[in-house]
Amino acid sequence: MPEGAASQPPSSPTPLSQPSSTRETPAWLNGIYAGVCLYFFLAAINVMSSGLKTMGSQIKQILDQAHNPVIALMGGVLVTAIVQSSSFTTSLIIALVAAGQMDLETAIYAVMGANIGTSITNNLVSGFMMRIKDQFRRGYAAALMHGNVNLLTVAILFPIEWISGSLSATGQGWLTQFSMWAAGTLGISPQQNPNSPIKAITKWVVKVLDWVAGLFTSNAQTQGKILAVLGLLLLFLMLVLMVKNLKGALLRRVEGLFSSILFRNDFMAWVVGIISTVFVQSSSVTTSLMIPLAGAGAVRSKRVFPFMLGCNIGTTVTGVLAASANPVAAAVGVAICHVLFNVVGCAIWYPLRFIPIGLARWYAELAATSRRYYFLYILVVFILIPSLGYLIVRLLS
């Protein structure tokens, strides 16, 4: 040893990484959990249908109010704005159609309203960014892009469907006729099939909840109401659990790749919107996730728009799943029409994207300058217009 060198005690090896206090849930376990949620989601549709069938003339009288296209449209906006889930509203509409308690034409107008109402969630999310003007302007513009596409698509398709239905001998508009033709082409029966595989494997859930409903009353109509409410609760719970599970499993891994890889062109942004929404089963979640990313400037507005269009396509999968629980031609027709509505919206507004994007940027700049315009938009679009439209039509009818 060289002179003057002090002997040092051997140091203990330093670990390269410390174990994380929270462990990531294995992918296979997330998959099983998602499968269980999906099973009970389909069961909830059948539970609601069974309960609605027993409610007879009472529920028919309530739904007769929505036979006017305007009331159906406004009702879809209001319900979706309240529950903040177009997946929930669409699934409920499909269950009503499958149970024979809502006609296809009315359901299609209500689905149009649900497409408008679903954009309230990302509007509310953007409001949390008001403290920083530039971030709020970018984030709110992203939220408005989603809402503008749905509003503009309804502005075109609603009068076309209404006028074509009024001129048709069957009373069905072009969207309704095409949806029923597509359902017939797929070989879907006009009547419910009691031997449907999904109905068969979920029958025990219906029986158990029907037994639970019977504990509260012996009246058949009241028992049907309780069963329908239990189905609604189960449906809502399964949607929440699916969103929570898949959001954690998927979006944590995807978020860091958004700006560098997944949004390098419009097509990739569109595909990402579809795939992420299909997995999460909620366009409210995926579009709301985009708001802070757009606000921070991580994703440019010209890429935000195709992503929002993709989310609109992806959210239709929930309706398709709901229709598969009760494969009746009319119920499948509603799901097909939901897909068609959003596909037509993409086909119209992507080539003319300067219109919804320009409107979004203009109004976001206005709201960033004066916040009252932000609150005015929510009040007018999601509350005043639907409520006034509903009341005016009721008074005139």
58-76: pLDDT as tens digits: 444 444 465 678 888 888 8
pLDDT at 141: 95
pLDDT at 145: 94
pLDDT at 242: 65
pLDDT at 367: 94
Give the C-alpha separation, 144 to 147, whole Å: 5
Q: Which residues contact 108 (CB under 8 A, 6 or more apart)?
A: 161, 173, 175, 176, 179, 334, 337
Q: How far apart are the first and last CA of the chain?
A: 105
Other Cβ atoms within 10 Å of 293 Cβ, number: 20
Give the C-alpha separation, 358 to 353, whole Å: 8
Range list of H helices, the chain: 27-53, 56-63, 69-83, 86-98, 104-117, 120-127, 133-167, 174-185, 197-201, 203-214, 220-246, 252-254, 266-280, 283-295, 301-314, 316-325, 329-349, 354-369, 372-379, 385-396
Give the C-alpha separation, 220 to 213, whole Å: 10
Low-confidence residues in the chain, pLDDT < 70: 1-25, 27-28, 45, 49, 52-67, 83-85, 186-199, 239, 242-260, 280-282, 325-327, 397
Residue whose entry in the numeric block shows the structure tokens 């849930």:
25
pLDDT at 197: 62
pLDDT at 66: 59
Is 170 in a helix, a strand, or coil?
coil
Give the C-alpha separation, 10 to 13, whole Å: 9
pTM score of the predicted model? 0.71
Q: Which residues contact 36 (CB under 8 A, 6 or more apart)?
A: none
